Amino acid sequence: MAETATTEYHLVRDRSRIPEEYKWRLEDIYPTDSAWRQEKASLIQALPSIGGFRGKLASSPDVLFECLDTVSRLSKQFVRLYCYTSMKSDLDTRDSVYAGMEQEISQVGAEFSSVSSFIQPEIIAGFTPETIEAFLKQEPRLADYRHELFDLMRRKEHTGTEGEERILAESGLMADGPSSVYNTFADADFPFPDMVQADGTTLKLDKPSFSLQRASFNREDRKQAFALFFGKINEFRRTFGAQLAAQIKKDYFYMKARRYNSCLEKALDGGNIPTDVYRSLITGVNENLPTFHRYLSLRKRILGVDQLHYYDLYCPLVRDLDLRYTYEEATERILASLSPLGEHYCSVARTALSDRWVDVYPNDGKRSGAYSNGGVYDVHPYMLLNFNGKYDDMSTLTHELGHTMHSYLSNKNQPYPTAHYSIFVAEVASTFNEALLMDFMLKNAPNDDVRLSLLGNELDAIRGTVFRQTQFSEFELMIHEKVEKGESLTGDGLNEMYRDLTRKYYGHDGGVCVVDDVMQSEWAYIPHFYYNFYVYQYATSYTASVDLSGKVLGGDEDTRKRYLELLSSGGSDYPVNLLKRAGVDLTTRGPFDRTMDKMNRIMDEMEAILERS
C-alpha cells in the first residue's frame, strides 16, 4: 500500500486554478445558461396543458395515461432544470446569479404542483382499486404507473380535496425557506474563525479545514479546532435555533394538513415504512451502548490518552501511520474493490470516476460535504466531493459512487415514473461500496499497523453510521415531539437537549468519553436535520449492507444478482419489499444484531493485534 502525499489541489481553494478534469462537466445537462433559460420558458409554457385533463381522468384509460404521461414528461424536464442550477449554485454558494436561478425554478416547481394538484383528489374520488385494474388491462401503457396509482389509493385518507391540495402545493413557495436560509448562512456567510496551529501557521477554520484539523495527530490542534469551530457556532445558537425551529414547524404543518398522528408517521409513510422500524433502531442502539463504549475504551487505549474526549474521536488510531491518497490512487483502489460486482458495474464506475461526473476538490464558497445527484434521468449522475486525500475521503468517494451506480442502473432499467428510488434503499448501495473497499484494503494490508488502522476506520464507520446517525435520529424525534406538544424550540434549549443526549451515548457520566460543553452546539452543524427524518436510514441501510456485502464477498452469486436487481429496481415497489427480495428484512432485528456481532469481532481482532504488538 502506498502511503504517498496527496496532490495539493485540496489546498488551492481558488477554483480557477483547479484543472478541468477534476470539475463537473455540467454542459452535459445544458450547454449554456441561455439554453437553461430557454428550457425553463418552454416548461412554463407547457404547464397550463395539464389543466386540460381536469374532470376527465375517469373518462377513459387513454385520457388517464395521457395525463400521467404529460405530468411525468414535464416533471423530468423540471428536475433537469432544477439539478443544473442547484449544482451550479453549490460550486460557489456566494454566487447570487445561480442562487437567483434556483429561486426562479423553485417558483416554477410550486406552480407545477399547483396546476397538477387536482390529479390525486380526482383519482381518489373517481377510482377504486378495481377500476384501476380494469384501466390497466385496457391500456397497457399505464403499467408504468401501476405502483403510483395503487400507492395513491393506500394514502387516500391523507389526500385532501382539490382546493386543499392546491393550497398545499402553493405553500411550496415557502417550504424551503428554513433550509435555504440555513445553507446560505452556514456555507456562504458564516464568519469562520482563524486558528493558529501548533507550528505557528494560521488558517481559516471553515468546514473543509475543520474536517482536516479534527483528524490531526496533534491533540492540542484538534482540541483547539473543536473549541474554536463550535465556540463560534455557539455564538449564533439563537439564529440557528430559529432556523431549525422554523423547519420543524413546517414539518408539523404538513403533518396536520395531511392528517397524520405524528411528524414521524408522516415522514415514513411516503415509503410505507412502519414507524416501529425507526423506534426499534433507537431501542436497539440504546441497548447496545455497552458495545459502543467498548469501542470508545479501545480507542482510548490505542491513543494512549488518560481520558478520552470528544475531540479525540476523529484522529487516526495509529500515530505514525498517516494513510493518504491522491484522487487517482483512491480511484484505483475503489475500482479494484468493486470487482465482486462484475465487469459491467466496474466499467460504468470507471467512467463515472474519470469522465467529469465528479467535482473533486474544495474551493472557496463550495458547498460542504459530499453527495450524489442522479436526478438528470437522460444524462448521468453527478458527485460532489471536498476531497482532502485522507482515507475518509476515499471512503466518501466510494460511498457516493454507490449512490451514483444505483441511480445509473435504475435510470437505465426503469421508465422515468419508477426510476426514483426511496432514501430507505439508497444508503444500502453507498455503504455496500464502503464494505467492499474495506475488505479490499484489509486483504492488501502489508502489516499489523496498517491493519489496525483500517480496522479502526471500520469501527469509526460503524460509530458514524449506526450510533451517531441513530443519536441524530433520537434527537430529531425529540425535537419534533416537543413541537407536537406545543413546546418551544430555542437555541439554548436545543443545546441542552443535544448535550444531554450526546453525553448519554458517549458514556460521559461514567467516564467513558468526556463530551465537553462546547459540543452542545454541534446540532447546528448538521444539515440533515432539515431533511425530515432522513438520517435513520443511514443506520438501517448500513445493517442491510452488512448482510448483503458479506454474502457477496463470500462468493454468493445468487445474492450478487439479486443485489444488482435491487439497484436496477428504482422505486418500482416499496423499499421494504425490494430489500426482502434482495435477501434482507429490515422489519426484524436480525440485520442490526448481526452488525453488532461484526463490530465485536472487529474489536476482538484489534485487541489480539495489540496483545502481540
Answer yes or no: are the C-beta atoms of 252 and 484 closer than 8 Å: yes
From 219, 222, 292, select the one nearest 508 (Cα to Cα): 292
Q: Is 27 a catalytic residue?
A: no
Q: 343 exposed, middle or buried (CB, 10 Å; 0-12, 13-18, 19+)?
A: exposed
DSSP per position, 347-385: HHHHHHHHTT-EE-S-BTTPPSS-EEE---TTS--EEE-
Catalytic residue among 400, 434, 474, 476: 400
> What gap in Å lies between CA 391 and CA 77, rounded to an integer?
38
| Coil/strand/helix, residue 324 | strand
Type of residue at 321: L
Q: Which three cell numbers stand for residue 257?
A: 394538513
Distance of CA 286 to CAs 283, 414, 518, 529, 546, Å? 5, 39, 24, 20, 20
The distance from CA 504 to its chain's CA centroid, rounded to whole angstroms, is 25
Q: Quick one: DSSP state of residue 390?
A: B
> What gap in Å lies between CA 3 and CA 321, rounded to an integer?
8
> What gap in Å lies between CA 388 and CA 458, rounded to an integer?
19
From 211, 213, 524, 193, select the one nearest 362 (Cα to Cα): 211
> What gap in Å lies between CA 207 and CA 204, rounded to an integer?
9
> What gap in Å lies between CA 372 and CA 406, rounded to an integer?
10
Q: Where are the alpha helices (DSSP H) in 236-338?
A: 237-257, 263-269, 275-287, 289-303, 327-337
From 538, 497, 537, 547, select the one nearest 520 (Cα to Cα): 497
> What is the set of active-site residues?
400
